[in-house]
Amino acid sequence: MTAAREDLVARAIAAQHRAYAPYSRFSVGAAVLAGGEIFEGANLENASFPLSVCAERNAIAAAVLAGKRELEAVAVCTSASPPSAPCGACRQVLLEFAPDPAAVTVTAVNPAGERRTWTLAQLLPDGFNGRELPDKP
Ligand code: THU
């Protein structure tokens, strides 16, 4: 694994500690590499459960807000064993910002050191990317 990827994984592990997950007690940290910079996110739950937002979507939102829309890699940290893969909704939102989903690696880790890696294309094959929509910019 490259030094850059190790950095991304370390940031996802750090972000997990800042999750707000009092209802599920399933803390998730995420880090995305976009435009050469790393952005973190953690899950943020709400007493009105469906309003909760996943770590991965908060991380990509931080990247986009900073003007970085080109997703290069993702790391996700949960305490699950084996490490949890991103949910379907997050896969779809990540795809929106992936110029080449086959080149975006997604690494799932846990604090025990277990790892699983895929590409975004493997996690969401034939995903809906909006090209079918009329007048897509
Ligand atoms: N969660 C994430 O943050 N990312 C995922 O990909 C899967 C689920 C969060 C949502 C909720 O706060 C908790 O994990 C349990 O579903």
Q: Cα(6) to centroid of ligand 1, in Å?
A: 22
Q: Which residues line ligand 1 (CB under 6 A)?
A: 21, 24, 26, 28, 43, 45, 52, 54-56, 86-87, 90
Q: What is the pLDDT of residue 79?
A: 98
- List 40, 45, 56, 72, catalytic entry: 56
Q: What is the pLDDT of residues 63-77, one digit of tens each?
A: 999 999 999 999 999
Q: What's residue 10's pLDDT?
A: 98
- Tell me what pLDDT residue 6 has: 93
pTM of the model: 0.95
| 96 is annotated as an active-site residue | no
Count CA atoms closer than 13 A to 36's CA, side-chain side: 0
What residues in the chain have per-residue pLDDT under 70? 1, 136-137
What does R_g of the chain's alpha carbons equal in angstroms?
14
Which pLDDT score, from 0 to 100, does residue 3 have? 79
Phi, psi of 105 (to 5 degrees): -85, 140
* Tokens, residue 78: 């949960």
- Give residue 135's pLDDT: 77
